Amino acid sequence: MIAIISLLVVVFLSILITRIATIALTHTGLTRESAKFQARSAFSGAGFTTEESEMVVRHPVRRKIVMILILIGNAGIVAAISSLILTFVKQSTDSDLTIRVIFLVTGLLGLWLVASSKWADRWLSIIVERLLNRYTNLNVKDYASLLHLTGEYRLVELNIRKNDWVDGKKLSDIRLRDEGINVLGIRKSDGDYVGNPIGETRIEQKDTLVVYGRIEAIEKVDLRKKGVRGDIDHVKAVKKQKQEVFKEKKKEKKQTG
């Protein structure tokens, strides 16, 4: 039974560590979905085969986070396998074996429910973010305070993939600023960089957009695909941004009044 408890502890710590790494990576400019994928890939040793991995290895802080994840992940996997072996190789009766299996499955199911719970994710993220803000300095850019890169706002790099909503469109067509997102620059697939791009600049597959805005809005654009659904989501995002602007103006009016 001790071996099973040890295994559950290892699994719990694995979930916690990857969650901390995910939030740490978002502090360096990755979207949450990209950070989650890279953190889990590094921890599990699955390897990096995506374009996003290039943004990780080129960035000193991201590279350090990933290296730590790889080291901890290797040790965690070995410990988990060892605990699992000890659980079932020990001589025991059929009834003892059944109890162990039930206990193990129940424990893993409980951890899976906690890991997939939006409520648990939200509160764990808040706690981890506060600890990172208090004990670390992951906003390595010297303009972090100028752009208020805390809380809702982030400076993020977006890799443009095939069938992304912005792929093949001009900046003037997608009107990201109406969603509260500012495109500060575009790194083209051939290596050229377009700073402060104008409306006629066309976004193409394998380009990288440097954007600034609310992280929630940026993540939605990053996941948005071509088609009618994408256009509808854009209209909804524009409407939501107008509501946010109205709330901010109302709040500012109260403060000044």
Q: What is the pLDDT of residue 207?
A: 93
Please name the residues in contact with 198: beta carbons below 8 A apart, sequence gap of 6 or more: 171
pLDDT at residue 41, as a whole number: 82
CA distance 109 to 54: 35
Residue 27: the pLDDT is 72
Name residue, tokens 């809380």: 151
Residue with tokens 């809702």: 152
Q: How far apart are CA 29 and CA 15, in angstroms?
A: 22
pLDDT of residue 140: 43
For residue 147, what pLDDT is reported? 59
Q: Parallel, antiparallel, or unpaired for β 193-195 and 208-214?
A: unpaired
Whether the CB-CB separation of 199 and 13 falls below 8 Å is answered with: no
pLDDT tens, position by position, 150-159: 567 888 888 8
Query: How far apart (Å, rounded) are the C-alpha atoms in residues 216 and 151?
Result: 11
Give the per-residue pLDDT at 142: 37
CA–CA gap between residue 148 and residue 146 (Å, rounded): 6
CA–CA gap between residue 78 and residue 234 (Å, rounded): 46
Token reading at 162:
């095939």
The mean predicted confidence, pLDDT, of the chain is 77
Domain map of the chain by residue range? 2-135, 153-256
What is the third-level CATH fold of 153-256?
A: Alpha-Beta Plaits (3.30.70)
Taking the alpha carbons at both ends of the chain, their separation in whole angstroms is 65
Candidates 133, 153, 159; CA nearest to 20 is 133
Q: Of 8, 3, 136, 2, which Cα lies nearest the Cα of 68? A: 136
- Cβ distance 15 to 33 under 8 Å? no
User: In this structure, are residues 184 and 147 in contact, taking their beta carbons and an 8 Å threshold?
Assistant: no
So what's the pLDDT on residue 127?
A: 76
CB 139 within 8 A of CB 149: yes
Q: What is the pLDDT of residues 178-201, one digit of tens each?
A: 999 999 999 998 888 999 898 899
- Looking at residue 135, its pLDDT comes to 66
187 close to 160: Cβ distance less than 8 angstroms = no
Specify the pLDDT at position 88: 56
Mean pLDDT by 10 residues, the chain (257 residues): 67 78 76 78 68 68 80 66 59 62 73 70 72 62 50 83 93 93 91 89 92 90 92 93 86 73
- Rounded alpha-carbon distances, angstroms, from residue 175 to 97, 123, 140, 163, 244: 61, 33, 29, 18, 17
- What pLDDT score was predicted for residue 141? 43
* Residue 224 near residue 233, CB atoms below 8 Å: yes
